[in-house]
Amino acid sequence: MTRVLILDPLWPLDVGMEALDGIEVTLEQTDRIQGDDVVAVLVAPMQTIPANLLELVPNVRLVGTCSTGYDNLPVQELSAQGVMCLHVKSYCDAEVAEHTITLAANLLRGVAQLDGFVREGGWYPYPREPRRLAGSRLGIIGFGRIGRLVAMQGDALRMEIIAYDEFVDEATMQSLSVQKVDLDTLLETSDVVTLHAPLVPETQHLMNARRFAQMRDDAYLVNCARGPLVDHVALGDALRMGVIAGAAIDVYPVEPPPADEPAFGWPNLILQPHSAWYSAEARLAPYRRQIADLARFLRGEEPEGLIMQPEGTR
């Protein structure tokens, strides 16, 4: 019998299983990776696989992560050895875009800060001047699916939208009422900078001390993408020294963050528990889609979430 290992202990085994009807396969929820009859391994978001995976399960032909981001998988290495790598496309794009705009609005309007002010007995004068969203400049770094949704929602709020993405042409951005700019211009002129780039070696610490220094001292940063896009040491320095006005982060270099996470003590910072993806509608969607893709793979069809074609077959 063909076996599929699910390494995520929280995976709901009652979700999406109808897609496997008529397919002879055994799904095994386990933390033990072994067996010549294992053809696929599925993991949780951010969960990694051992470097010697192919020694443990020599006949594995598919590895999938139950998330849109796939920096937890060694895609190049596995693909070079004929293993398919899967992720889940687009299941929470709307949620992440909405969360991003919500945080941007919170920062500009000072919602969290004013809430704390009232709870401490304050009323007037206010501790800061809230800013108007309409007419504020929203700078989007990374203009993929989520970046485009953020642009559409920002435009609906009458914000001025600019974006930086080396791989998206000017005409595409203009079709969404977005001005294409270089990264320097975006950082130097935006009221809010929001990150929607993938995590690859070239984007590691994309936001560092030099980049923060380019931002205005009344500007804000939002990161609902990947924690390592931001150098957190540099972010802490920028907040403490007033280099930027504030930030909102939903993702961290290490998740969950340790109890001594430096960010907990930084001023003018809104913290979220990697929850931008979450909604009642999105909660189970990645599991259903991953099982549906597993069924396609087992039937000999191409999965919808295939990251790249493997080199050869196993």
Q: Give the pLDDT confidence of 127-147 residue by residue, as tens digits.
A: 989 999 999 999 999 999 999
68 near 91, Cβ under 8 Å? Answer: yes
pLDDT of residue 313: 58
* From 255, 302, 304, 311, active-site residue: 255
User: Domain 2-91+282-298 adopts which CATH fold?
Assistant: Rossmann fold (3.40.50)
Q: Which of 137, 226, 232, 289 is catalytic?
A: 226
Give the separation between CA 165 and CA 215, rounded to whole angstroms: 18
Question: What number is the average pLDDT over the span 61-90?
Answer: 93
Interatomic CA distance for residues 191 and 157, integer angstroms: 14
pLDDT digits (tens, 9 = 90+) for 204-243: 999 999 999 999 999 999 999 999 999 999 999 999 999 9
d(CA 68, CA 192): 24
User: What's the full length of the chain, in residues?
Assistant: 314
Determine the pLDDT at residue 312. 64
274 is catalytic: yes
Q: Is the pLDDT of residue 177 over 90?
A: yes
The angle at the Cα of 164, spanning 161 to 168, to the nearest 5 degrees, equals: 105
Residue of 145, 274, 283, 296 marked catalytic: 274
The count of other CB atoms within 10 Å of the CB of residue 37 is 11
Tell me the average pLDDT of the chain: 94
Q: Is-catalytic flag, 196? A: no
258 is written with which tokens? 């340790």
Q: What does the alpha-carbon distance between residue 47 and residue 37 come to, in Å, rounded to a whole number?
A: 22
Q: Checking DSSP bridges between strand 2-6 and strand 25-29, what pairing results, if any?
A: parallel
Q: How confident is the model at residue 262 (pLDDT cuts 50, 70, 90)?
A: confident
Does the structure show a pLDDT above 90 at 149?
A: yes
What is the mean pLDDT of the segment spanning 15-38? 92
The strand order across the sheet containing 25-29 reads 25-29, 2-6, 38-43, 62-65, 84-86
Q: Examine the pLDDT at 314 and tell me if it is beyond 70.
A: no
Residue closest to 97 by CA, chosen among 126, 131, 134, 138: 138
- The dihedral through the CA atoms of 289, 290, 292, 297 has a sign that is positive
Which residues does residue 194 pair with via DSSP β-bridges, in sequence order? 140, 222
pLDDT in tens, 273-306: 999 999 999 999 999 999 999 999 999 999 999 9
Task: Cite the residue boundaries of each domain of the chain with CATH code 3.40.50.720.
Answer: 2-91+282-298, 93-271
- Determine phi and psi for 170, rounding to 5 degrees: -65, -40
Identify whether 158 is a catalytic site residue: no
pLDDT class of 264 with cuts at 50, 70, 90: confident
Q: Give CATH superfamily name and number for 93-271.
A: NAD(P)-binding Rossmann-like Domain (3.40.50.720)
Confidence of residue 69 (pLDDT cuts 50, 70, 90): confident
Query: Is pLDDT at 100 greater than 90 in this prediction?
Result: yes
pLDDT of residue 310: 81
User: Running DSSP on this structure, what letter comes out for residue 244?
Assistant: S
Name the least confident of 114-123, 152-161, 168-177, 252-261: 252-261
Q: What is the rounded CA–CA span in Å between residue 230 and residue 211?
A: 10
Given this model, what pLDDT does residue 263 score? 85
Q: What is the pTM for the complete model shown?
A: 0.88
Give percent above pLDDT 90 in the chain: 87
Whether residue 46 is predicted with pLDDT greater than 90 in this model: the reply is no
